[in-house]
Chains A and B, each alone.
Chain A
Amino acid sequence: QQQVKQSPQSLIVQKGGISIINCAYENTAFDYFPWYQQFPGKGPALLIAIRPDVSEKKEGRFTISFNKSAKQFSLHIMDSQPGDSATYFCAGGGGTDKLIFGTGTRLQVFP
C-alpha cells in the first residue's frame, strides 16, 4: 500500500538524448509527487514536484508526466547533459506523515 516502485535502476544516455525514469505508486491518498536529484557525496535536492490536479509539469529541460488512473508518473529530461549525471529519486506523499521514496535511478550521460 505504501510502496513507490521506480525503474530502471540505472540508465545510460547519450548527450542530447532524452532520459526517462518511471515510478508507480499504490496509495491512492498520495497527492504530492516530488523528484529529487542527488550527486555523489551530497544530499538529495528537490528538482521538481507535481500534484494530481495536473497531468504534466515542465521546468526547463525537466518534465513530470502524471497518469492518475494508472497510478504512474515519470520524469523526462530533455537534451540530457553530462552534468545531469546523478541519482534520481521519486517519492509519494499525502495521507500519511511520511514521504515514501523510490529506490533510485542512477543516470549516466555520456558526451
Chain B
Amino acid sequence: SQQGEEDPQALSIQEGENATMNCSYKTSINNLQWYRQNSGRGLVHLILIRSNEREKHSGRLRVTLDTSKKSSSLLITASRAADTASYFCATEATGTYKYIFGTGTRLKVLA
C-alpha cells in the first residue's frame, strides 16, 4: 500500500498543552499537506509544505518536513477543545496529481 502512516493513532491532551503528530510516507513527493476532519464531515486544508522547505508556520500550527527520512510532523500549540478532530497528512507523489492520505491521528483536547 502507498498509504502513509501517522502516529500516534490517538492522542488525548489537556487544553493549553501542545499536540504533536507525525507522518511517514514512502515515495518522493512534490509537497505534503495536513488536513483536519471533524467527525462525519469533509476535510479542511490546514497547511502545505513543499519538498524544498524544512519548516513552516501558520498561526498555532508548525509543520516540519524531513525528506531524507520521508517524515513530517505537525505541532499544534496551546491546544483548545475546538481542536478536537482527526488530522491527516497527504502527499502528492512526484509526477502525479493525486494525493495519498496517511492513517490519521485522532486528537481529543479536554477542557
Q: Do A and B come from one complex?
A: no
